[in-house]
Amino acid sequence: MKGLISLILSLLFDVSILFAQNRKIDSLKKVIATTPVDTVKGRSLCRLCNQLRIIGAYETGLMQGKAGLDLCEKNKDQKSIAGCLNNVGGIYEVQGNYPKALDYYQKSLKIRAQLGNQPGIATCLMNMGNIYWFQGNSLKALDSYQKSLKIYEQIENKQGISTCLMNMGNIYRSQGNYPKALDYFQMSLEIYEQIGDQVGIAYCLNNMGEIYTSEGNYLKALDYFQKSLRIDEQIGDTTGISNSFISIGNAYFHLKQPEIAKEYAGKGLKLAQKIKHLEFMKGGSQTSYRVDSALGDWKSAFEHHKLFKQYSDSLHNEDKAKEFGRIESKYQFEQEAEAVKRKEAESKRTEQLETERRNNLQYLSIFAGLIVLFIGLSFVGKLKITERVLDISLFATLLILFEFLLILFDPVLDRYTGGIPIQKLVFNSVIALGFAPLHGFLEKKLRKRFVRGE
């Protein structure tokens, strides 16, 4: 009797979830069927596309999304076109058609950039980061997430910030950096809890459970998966429920409880097949054949293994794409590092040329000034100046000339002396001694002109 009551309550709960999820869909369908305004109909079709994605009705969602896109393009509603492109890209993403999803996201990004729609730009960048990550190009993915995070922080969009942090945590998880991944998941979870985003909370909890699974802490992982499942069921997230079921089944398998593991893995696989989520279909069939083998059910194990191979073969091209993505990521990193080195070398060379140009101009200016001084001294006989002023003028001119020559020949002296002070002093002294006869010669000539002038 208790079992029957429990079953009835469970069924009522599932029905209430389905009803709550379908209210939005029914409301949008009603608007689409009754509105005479094409722009409203187009936008509603685009929103319906996203709601159908959430419940796993991908083919219907694509059909509605493309119909909405056609109407928005007909009415030249750029904002709605961008939103619809993003929603259609989202369906291609969950179907594993990453090239097509990326194409739609990039088209959406281009329009949103033209409109200056910062939240939209950030969303597209984040979605593109997801695609790069799925393709194995973690460098590009991280770059997209960081750009998206920067915009979300500028516009203070907490939901966007937390989603970016979660996605960055996924990258660190895929790289085996579990402590850093957990830090990012924890930061993301705290923000999701602040804003009450149940979908985000569920995904964060599931991701943290996967970390503990990788570390072999299956009891802790199971706790996180069950918390995630409860939220997924409350909000009717079909994709999340499938993922949680499979994760729980895998945890029970490692905890040596194959009967419970079989139940959850089977539910997850069935749901994944219903929504045609290839990655989860592969994971569910893999866990199922392992559990069947542990139970000694060889016939079921064989059937599930066949499914696993079938789904794996379907993902083979995707795995190849990931490998190419990793190669591309490494190549891109090396190219970027080389570009930075070239840029630094070019900047240094430009700086050196600019310094040489500046120095040459200063040398020319000093030289020109010296010529002017000596020309001025040559006319000393025609000027009425005292003998003391003559001595000071001659001394100052020769001193400036001496300093100029020291500066001019300093690089040459450095090259020959190695910058050793005592050797530079010797060379400077030789230059100074050369000025003694020059000073006497000029003084004698100028005094003669001074006397004649008087």
The pLDDT assigned to 50 comes to 85
DSSP 28-62: HHHHHHH---HHHHHHHHHHHHHHHHHTT-HHHHH
Q: What is the pLDDT of residue 324?
A: 43
- The span from the CA of 160 to the CA of 140, in Å, is 19
The H or E element spanning position 308 is helix 298-314
Cα radius of gyration (the chain): 39
pLDDT interval class at 446 (50, 70, 90): low
Residue finishing a domain among 98, 116, 134 = 116
Q: Which residues contact 344 (CB under 8 A, 6 or more apart)?
A: none
- pLDDT at residue 339 tops 60: yes
pLDDT at 213 over 50: yes
Confidence of residue 3 (pLDDT cuts 50, 70, 90): very low
Residue 27 belongs to a domain:
yes
Residue 13 has pLDDT above 60, yes or no: no
Between 343 and 338, the more confident residue is 343
294 or 411: which carries more pLDDT confidence? 294
Of 34-43, 168-177, 343-352, least confident by mean pLDDT is: 343-352
For residues 426-447, give the mean pLDDT. 67
Which range marks the domain in which residue 439 is found? 379-453
> Which residues does 73 contact at the CB level (< 8 Å), separation at least 6?
81
Q: Check pLDDT > 70 for residue 449.
A: no
User: Pick from 88, 116, 144: which residue ends a domain?
Assistant: 116
**Contact of 412 with 441, CB cutoff 8 Å:** no
On the question of pLDDT at 27 being above 60, the answer is yes
pLDDT average, residue stretch 308-337: 58
How does residue 389 score in pLDDT terms, banded at 50, 70 and 90? low
**In-domain check, residue 98:** yes
How many residues comprise the chain?
454
Model pLDDT, residue 16: 44
In the predicted model, is pLDDT for residue 418 greater than 70?
no
CB within 8 A of 132, min separation 6: which ones? 138, 140, 141, 144, 325
- Predicted confidence at residue 193, as pLDDT, reads 95
Q: Cα 448 to the chain's mean position, in Å? A: 81
Instruction: Give the pLDDT confidence of 248-301 residue by residue, as tens digits.
Output: 999 999 999 999 999 999 999 999 988 888 888 999 999 999 999 999 999 998
- Average pLDDT estimate for 4-25: 49
Residue 12 within any structural domain of the chain: no
Look at residue 332 and tell me whether its pLDDT is greater than 70.
no
Given a cut of 50, whether residue 337 has pLDDT beyond it is yes
Contact in structure between 402 and 435 (CB atoms under 8 Å): yes
Q: Is residue 83 part of a domain?
A: yes
Distances from the Cα of 90 to the Cαs of 52, 65, 96, 115, 249, in angstroms?
A: 11, 11, 10, 21, 27
Is the model's pLDDT at 345 over the cut of 90? no
Three-state SS string over 185-221 comes to: HHHHHHHHHHHCCHHHHHHHHHHHHHHHHHCCCHHHH
Domain count, the chain: 2
pLDDT surpassing 80 at residue 442: no
Closest Cα partner for 42 from 4, 81, 16? 81
Q: Is 311 within a domain? A: no
Q: Where does the pLDDT of residue 136 fall: very low under 50, low under 70, confident under 90, or very high at 90 and above?
A: confident
Asked whether residue 40 is domain-assigned, the answer is yes
Q: Is residue 281 part of a domain?
A: no
Q: Among 116, 137, 157, which residue terminates a domain?
A: 116
Indicate which CATH number applies to the domain containing 109: 1.25.40.10
Asked, for residue 64, whether it belongs to a domain, the answer is: yes
- pLDDT given for residue 146 in this prediction: 95
Regarding predicted confidence, which is higher, 202 or 51? 202
Q: Is the pTM of this model over 0.85?
A: no
